[in-house]
Amino acid sequence: MTNFTESKQMKTLENIQKKFVGRILASKNEKLLEAIDKIFDYTQPEDIIALSAEELEMLLMSEKENE
């Protein structure tokens, strides 16, 4: 793979991740969020994508707000 192709794939992946995290944070649909959680539970550890520090912080803040 060329560096251009790899760079394009990384940008696409980052965009998908940001969009996905944003949609999760905005969702109030408990069943949907439980289903997403189950998908991650059944995903192989090497397939799980690590979140950035900023994304983790956003998730933690959202979690605290829901408590």
pTM of whole model > 0.85? Answer: no
Is the Cβ–Cβ distance between 21 and 51 less than 8 Å? yes
Model pLDDT, residue 31: 92
CA distance 8 to 30: 34
Picking from 30, 24, 33, 16, the residue whose alpha carbon sits closest to that of residue 58 is: 24
5 pLDDT higher than 70: no
Model pLDDT, residue 9: 67
